[in-house]
A = this chain, B = another copy of it.
Amino acid sequence: MLHPNTPREAHSIKGNDRNLLPKQELLLIAAKRLLHRQAIRHLTNMLGRLHSAEIAYIIQQLDYPEEKRTTFDCLPDDETRGQVLSEIDLETGSQVVMNLSFSRVADILRWLGPDDAAAILRNFPEEQQKQILSLMNREDSTEVKDVLKYEEGTAGSIMTTEVFFLPENSTVSEAIRQLQEATEAETVFYIYVTDKDEHLTGVLSLRHLLTVPGTSTLQSIMTRQTITVNPETDQEEVARLVAAYNLLAVPVVDHDKTLLGIITVDDVIDVIREEATEDMLKMAGAPEEGASLHSSIPQATFARFPWLFTNLMGTFLSGALLWYFRFTLQEVVALVSFIPVVSAMGGNVGLQTSMLVIRGLATGQISQRDLSRVWVHELGIGLLLGLLSGTLVMGVGWIWHQDYLLGLVVGISLLLAFLVSTSLASLIPILFYRIKIDPAIAAGPLVSTTMDIVGIAIYLTLATTLLIYLV
C-alpha cells in the first residue's frame, strides 16, 4: 500500500536517517535483546516509535514464529498492525495472524487495503475465509471479496478497489474540494474520470488540476485515452506496462471499461522483485514457497527434493551410459580423465544460454516470435565457444596422454556438445513459453540434465567408433 496522502507516514523516521540498513540492524538487535529478557513493556515502547517498514523488517528477521507473534501482539493498535501486515512478506504475515481468533483477524484486516487483506486471507482455508469475512463490516468485506474473486498472479488479485474517481461533468473546483475530503482512496496522483455508468473515460494528474481555471469541467481537460489492464491480465504484464510507460498507477477495467480498481507502482515493485527471485529460485528447484531461508528445515527439504530427484534420475542415466561403455573405458583408460569435461561443459554453456533466454522472455527483451533468430545467434556462439574450448581440450589431451586421437575425440565431442547444448537451451525455453509452461521451472534442470547425458553419449560413441576403426 502506498500512503501518498500522509507524507508523515511515508517519511517519518526518527534519529539518524542517513543509512537505513545499518539502523534496521540495530533495531533488530535491540528487539531480540528485549524479547530474550521478556521485557515486553520496553519492546512495546520501542515499537511505538518506529515506522511500520522498520517493524515489518524486525518481525521478518526474527528467528522463531513465537517471537514474531509476540512482537506483533506488542504493537500499539490494530491500525499499526494493519500497516505492518501490508509491508511484511506473505509467509511471515500468515504466521503472525494464524493463531489469532477470527474476530481479531477481522479487526486487523479492516485497516488493510482490499488487495493486502485478500492476500492474507488467501492463506486461510476457504471455510475460514468466509467466517472471517462475515465478521467484517459489509462494505469492507465486499471490497475484499471483489479482489478474492481473481486468481493469484492476476491484475485483479493485486488491485485496490479504493480509487479516487469523479464524473466527467464535475468542475475543477469541485474536484479539488472532493480531493480535500477524500480519505480512503489509496493513491491520488491520477484522478480518474468516468461517465455516469462508471465507465472509465479519461485521466488527469493532480498537478494539471492546479493549472486550469476552477470552472472548467474535467471532461474538457482530461486525457481521453488511457492505458488500462483487465483483471485477468498477468501481473508480470502489468509490471512490464508500468515500467515501459513509467506509470505511477494503472487502472483495472472490465470488458466494457467499467473502472474496477487500480494497481499502484509500489505493488508493481513488489511484483518485479518477487518474479525475479522466483525465476532464479525456480531454475535451481528451490521454490520460494517452502524453500526460503526462513522455512523450517524439514519443509525446505521437502520443497527442494523433487528437483534434486529429477536430477538424480538424470545422473543415473549418465551412469548407465558409462556402464554400457565400460569395455571401451577399460580398453582406453585415459578416456576417464575427460568424462568430467564432456559431461559438465555442455551443461555449463547451456546454463548461460538458458539464463539469457529465460530472463529475456521475462523482461520482454525477446518474444516468442524470436525463436529462429535467437537459435541462430546462440548456435553461432556455441560454434565459436566449441571451437575455442575444443582446441584447448584437444591440446590438453595430446600433451597429457601423448595421444593425438584421444585429443581429437575429446575436442570434437566438446564442439558437438556445445552445438546441441546451445540449441536446446535456446529452443526449449521459448517453446515452453509458447505453450504457457513457465520456462524457468522447466528449462533449467531439463537442459542441464539432458546435456550431461548427451555429452557422455557423444564422447563415448565417438571414442568407441574411432577405437574400432583405428585400434
Residues of A whose CB lies within 8 Å of any CB of B are 1-8, 10-14, 17-21, 25, 51, 53, 56-57, 60-61, 63, 87, 176, 179-180, 188-190, 203-208, 210-211, 223, 225-230, 233, 237, 240-248, 265-266, 268-270, 272-273, 276-277, 279-281, 283-286, 291-294, 297-298, 300-301, 304-305, 307-309, 311-312, 314-316, 318-320, 322-323, 326, 329-330, 333-334, 336-341, 343-345, 348-349, 351-353, 355-357, 359-360, 363-367, 369, 373-374, 377, 380-381, 384-385, 388-389, 392-393, 396, 452, 456
- Of B286, B307, B319, which is within 8 A of A340 by CB? B319
10 A–B contact pairs at CB < 8 A? A3-B246, A10-B247, A17-B225, A20-B244, A51-B245, A206-B206, A272-B276, A292-B356, A304-B381, A330-B333
Contact B452 A344 (CB under 8 A): yes
B343 touches A4 (CB 8 A): no
Q: Cβ of A244 and Cβ of B389 under 8 Å apart?
A: no
- Determine if B305 and A226 form an interchain contact, defined as CB atoms under 8 angstroms apart: no
Minimum CB distance partner of A318 in chain B: B340
Partner of A300, one of B208, B298, B381: B381
Chain B residues with Cβ under 8 A from A18's Cβ? 228-230
CA distance A312 to B270 in the complex (A): 38
Known contacts A207-B179, A237-B21, A308-B345; is A351 also within 8 Å of B284 by CB?
Answer: yes
Residues of B contacting A311 in the complex (Cβ-Cβ under 8 angstroms):
344-345, 348
B residues less than 8 Å from A333 (CB atoms): 326, 329-330
> Are B297's CB and A377's CB within 8 A?
yes
A29 nearest in chain B by CB position: B369
Residues of B within 8 A of A2 (CB): 246, 248
Complex contact A4–B297 (CB within 8 A): no
Count chain B CB atoms within 10 A of each CB in A19, A308, A353 and give the residue with the most: A308
Going nearest first, the 6 A-B pairs with the smallest beta carbon separation are A276-B276, A318-B340, A323-B337, A319-B337, A297-B380, A301-B384
